[in-house]
């Protein structure tokens, strides 16, 4: 029997896992400068080598494609993703990521070819988004045996992990704060059967929105401190700024303060001005997270 393979094709990051000897084994991307099983869902096209780069390797391209999952199921202008002078559909971007994950796993499974895969999708994904995800799988040469909802995968994994504490009938609340989607589900385990009672959330709300609010806040703060500067424009500076804000946001989860530095963020009388700002956790919570909570309420 072939090893069962599961893939989480996420908005911010993606993962591939095999179920071997009763255990889940996630595969690290050894081609990345800092190998990790959490692979950034980022794709870039290099016109010089005519190759697609995926994950951490793609992040160094200023016009890389991020968060294509948010566009799954859309069409026309709304769906367009561009990199290196090439236009791609979201399902094509998804396929490039899936192919990369397939390669990572195959290399570490001693050449065992991966064809059959279970893919997870947000519980509140539309039918069109599900079809586009299936197409991504087909384009990657995979046979998607099942699309399962992310909270279902989480509940099954938890039920197995905590089987000693999860004896008998239990109720579980699954909260998934993703990069692009935010959802919750309530499930009940009766004997060995897990039933989903309800699910809800927003397919267009997640950590990506916090990043955008944080960037807007920092930009405003910088302009207030430097009223006569002209902000630099262009994709490379935007990408460097975004990256620095995400790193700072993550550091605030474990530290009381974080720092953001972006070289030549603006110009003043033709001279470059760097962005060099410290942010405290308290300031982040009061000025950024509070706006995010407001967004949750109005959705």
Residues that bind Mg ion (CB under 5 A): 10, 178
Yes or no: say if 131 and 40 are a contact pair by the CB < 8 Å rule. Answer: no
Query: Torsion angle of alpha carbons 125, 130, 133, 137, nearest 10°?
Result: 140
Which of 2, 220, 230, 250 binds ligand ATP (CB under 6 A)? It is 250
Segment 71-100, which members bind ligand ATP (CB under 6 A)?
A: none
Partner interacting with residue 185 (select from ligand ATP, Mg ion, none; CB below 5-8 Å by kind)? none
CB of 232 to Mg ion, least distance (A): 33
Partner interacting with residue 246 (select from Mg ion, ligand ATP, none; CB below 5-8 Å by kind)? ligand ATP
Which of 253, 256, 269, 297 binds ligand ATP (CB under 6 A)? It is 253
**Cα separation of 158 and 242, whole Å?**
33
Partner interacting with residue 137 (select from Mg ion, ligand ATP, none; CB below 5-8 Å by kind)? none
CB of 249 to ligand ATP, least distance (A): 5
Which of 94, 151, 180, 201 binds ligand ATP (CB under 6 A)? It is 180
Number of residues this chain uses to bind ligand ATP (CB under 6 A): 17
**Cα separation of 268 and 197, whole Å?**
58
Q: Which range touches ligand ATP (CB under 6 A), out of 76-84, 89-97, 152-160, 176-184?
A: 176-184
**Cα separation of 17 and 217, whole Å?**
38
**Cα separation of 152 and 168, whole Å?**
19
Which of 3, 4, 13, 194 binds ligand ATP (CB under 6 A)? It is 13
User: Running DSSP on this structure, what letter comes out for residue 112?
Assistant: P
Q: 258-287 mask for ligand ATP (x: CB under 6 A)?
A: ------------------------------
Taking every pair of C-alpha atoms in the chain, what is the biggest distance, in angstroms?
72
CB of 178 to ligand ATP, least distance (A): 2
Query: Torsion angle of alpha carbons 63, 67, 69, 75, nearest 10°?
Result: -50
Closer of 119 and 237 to ligand ATP (Cβ): 119
User: Running DSSP on this structure, what letter comes out for residue 287?
Assistant: I
CB of 181 to ligand ATP, least distance (A): 4
**Cα separation of 94 and 133, whole Å?**
7
Ranges assigned E (strand) in the chain: 5-9, 13-20, 23-26, 39-40, 43-46, 51-54, 81-83, 86-88, 116-121, 143-149, 170-177, 182-190, 193-202, 230-231, 257-268, 271-280
Residue 54, beta-bridge partner list: 43
Which of 73, 84, 151, 179 binds ligand ATP (CB under 6 A)? It is 179
Segment 193-222, which members bind ligand ATP (CB under 6 A)?
A: 206-208
User: Which residues of the chain form contacts with ligand ATP (CB under 6 A)?
Assistant: 10-13, 41, 69, 178-181, 206-208, 246, 249-250, 253
């Amino acid at each position: 029997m072939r090893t069962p393979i599961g893939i989480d094709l996420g908005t911010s990051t993606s993962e591939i896992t095999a179920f071997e000897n009763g255990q889940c084994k996630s595969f690290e991307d050894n081609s990345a400068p800092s190998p990790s099983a959490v692979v950034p869902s980022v794709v870039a096209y290099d016109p010089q080598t005519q190759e697609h780069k995926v994950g951490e390797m793609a992040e160094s391209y200023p016009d890389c494609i991020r968060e294509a999952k948010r566009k799954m199921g859309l069409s026309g202008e709304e769906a367009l993703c561009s990199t290196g002078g090439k236009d791609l559909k979201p399902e094509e971007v998804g396929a490039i990521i899936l192919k990369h994950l397939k390669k990572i796993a195959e290399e570490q499974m001693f050449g065992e070819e991966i064809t059959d895969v279970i893919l997870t999708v947000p519980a509140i994904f539309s039918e069109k988004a599900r079809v586009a995800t299936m197409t991504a799988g087909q384009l990657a040469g995979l046979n998607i045996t099942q699309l399962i909802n992310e909270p279902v995968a989480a509940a099954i994994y938890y039920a197995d992990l905590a089987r000693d504490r999860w004896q008998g009938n239990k109720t579980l609340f699954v909260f998934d704060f993703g990069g692009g989607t935010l959802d919750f589900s309530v499930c009940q385990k009766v004997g060995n059967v897990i039933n989903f009672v309800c699910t809800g959330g927003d397919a267009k709300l997640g950590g990506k929105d916090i990043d955008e609010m944080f960037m807007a806040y920092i930009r405003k703060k910088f302009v207030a401190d430097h009223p006569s500067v002209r902000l630099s424009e262009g994709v490379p500076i935007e990408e460097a700024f975004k990256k620095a804000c995400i790193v700072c946001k993550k550091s605030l989860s474990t530290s009381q303060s974080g720092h953001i530095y972006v070289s030549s963020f603006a110009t003043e009388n033709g001279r470059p001005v760097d962005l060099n700002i410290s942010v405290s956790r308290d300031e982040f919570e009061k000025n950024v997270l509070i706006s995010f909570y407001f967004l949750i309420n109005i959705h």
